[in-house]
Amino acid sequence: MQQIHTRLAVIGSGPGGYSAAFRAADLGMEVTLIEKHDQLGGVCLNVGCIPSKALLHVAEQFNHLPLLRQWGITSTVTSPDLNAIREHKNTIVKTMSQNIAIMARQRRVNVITGEATFIDDHHLQITQKDKQVRLGFDHVIIAVGSRPNMPDFLPHDARIMDSTAALHLTEIPDRMLVVGGGIIGLELGTVYQALGTQITLIEFTDQLIPAADKDLVNLFQRSNKGRFNIRLNTRLTAVSAHPGGVTTTLLGADDQSDQMDFDALLIAIGRTPNGHRIGAEFAGVFVDQRGFIPVNDQLQTNVPHIYAIGDVTGNPMLAHRASHQAHTAAEVIAGHKTYFTPVAIPSIAYTQPEIAWTGKTEKDLKSAAIPYKVATFPWSALGRSHASQHPAGKTKLLYHPSTGQLLGAGVVGQHAGELIGELTLALEFGANIEDIGLTIHAHPTLHESIGLAAEAGLGTIT
Ligand code: FAD
């Protein structure tokens, strides 16, 4: 077996792993990045954030067609060209993955393709196609991510897809059941709906995107009435696949079951962290029952020279959380006094309209018994949203009743995800709504709604 040694080993090349490797190399460290897949970039780049947004961009164009027709802009499109759409998505993914490989080379990061497992707390075994490598390390960062959950009772059938399979876009089924009303289910449901699929979406709780505030989600739901058949408080209890389709049994809140037939199923019921798949026990690293690896605010596991970042460390499972943890871990290993203690981590559903929130939600504030007030600005009064024919939206600020300090914020509407950046910065800077209200926002813009919401709240501080 080949034996090599590295100062820092990074397992996994997702937004966590490659960001850690790059920051460590920039800080002068000798780094080895290990990835089991041929393409770098992890879930986010290959089968997550980027391909889903490429397809959502296509979906948006399709949804614009009826609007364009109003002004005499007609199109000859009768049905989507799946090959062209797939090519568009694959080209973006491939280009970005190649860019990561180039950036790794520029930094002299040693990239090894193979699957890493721990031998002990200073050695990894890397299984490659034709050989095994024993890699000794001074430090290691575990960035192995997560995988989709699939219920055990599902038959193996190509028409029953997880998010990865759905992103391959092999065909556009006539009727699809989306199981799970979280961000991933809604985004992929949006894509297939725009391309012509009739979508039924079930969610077992009483609200879509349970982590977001209900008023934001309700506005999304109202805007999509007629596009999705949404059934809340409903779970999938049985599935049988047969040549004519897939028969499902759905159990509602009233304990009544009914059977519905579909041409495809998309299962989007959350993700399982990969902590149990790396032999962590041989290094003495604690992994909880679900597969998460607990870390402190310097991203150290219970074994101080072994770090973990990204999805494998807990929720929210988001790429920007992974990359920021990555920078902290690399800097700590380089001897800096850096901590990962964000005030706010923004979340965005890139649906139509988008739903975005940051900092505390109303749910968080109520459960922590923190007093708060709400200031909102409806987009029905916003020039830019009318001008671009997307008047459905709302900007909402949550602030402390006596100091006016911003505690959290939510936006639903077109490009809400672009607006949430300003609010996250405001939270990190400890801004109050006076700071935001006095900041001159350009007219007519969508971000003007942030200033206007703050102004609405200004007179209410006691
Ligand atoms: P990952 O990206 O999962 O990367 C882990 C890597 O480790 C993988 O490449 C894997 O092959 C490799 N690996 C695992 N085990 C080993 C091993 N033993 N040896 C070697 N390599 C190994 N997040 C957002 O912030 N915004 C979005 O818009 C968004 N959209 C999403 C859409 C979908 C459909 C999905 C599924 C996810 C989406 N996410 C989004 C979540 C985002 O993809 C993850 O939070 C992010 O990829 C986590 O990064 P990570 O580095 O922790 O792990």
**Is the model's pLDDT at 146 over the cut of 90?**
yes
**pLDDT given for residue 75 in this prediction:** 80
**Residue 256 shares a structural domain with residue 141:** no
**Residue 65 shares a structural domain with residue 109:** yes
**pLDDT given for residue 253 in this prediction:** 85
Distances (CA, A) of 371 to 215, 241, 346, 374: 19, 51, 22, 10
29, part of any domain: yes
341, part of any domain: no
Look at the chain and report how many structural domains it folds into: 3
- Which residues make beta-bridge pairs with 139? 8
For residues 333-360, give the mean pLDDT: 98
**Is the model's pLDDT at 67 over the cut of 90?**
no
**Residue 383 shares a structural domain with residue 451:** yes
49, part of any domain: yes
Which is the closest atom of ligand 1 to the Cα of 148? Answer: 36
CATH number of 383's domain: 3.30.390.30
CA–CA gap between residue 279 and residue 4 (Å, rounded):
19
Token pair belonging to 99:
């860019």
**Residue 226 shares a structural domain with residue 321:** no
**Is the model's pLDDT at 460 over the cut of 80?**
no
Token pair belonging to 339:
């901590």
Q: Which of 235, 269, 303 is the last residue of a domain?
A: 269
340, part of any domain: no
**Is the model's pLDDT at 78 over the cut of 80?**
no
Distance 132 CA to ligand 1 centre (A): 25
What is the pTM (predicted TM-score) of this model? 0.97
**Residue 128 shares a structural domain with residue 16:** yes
For residues 41-53, give the mean pLDDT: 98
Tell me which residue range forms the domain holding 413: 347-458
311, part of any domain: yes
ipTM above 0.95, yes or no: yes
**Residue 276 shares a structural domain with residue 259:** no
**Residue 26 shares a structural domain with residue 127:** yes
155, part of any domain: no
Which is the closest atom of ligand 1 to the Cα of 147? Answer: 3
CA–CA gap between residue 58 and residue 62 (Å, rounded):
6
260, part of any domain: yes
Residue 444: cis peptide before it, omega within 30 degrees of 0? yes
**Residue 12 shares a structural domain with residue 80:** yes
Q: Which of 246, 269, 292 is the last residue of a domain?
A: 269
Pocket test for ligand 1, best of 144, 164, 278 (most atoms within 8 A of CB): 144
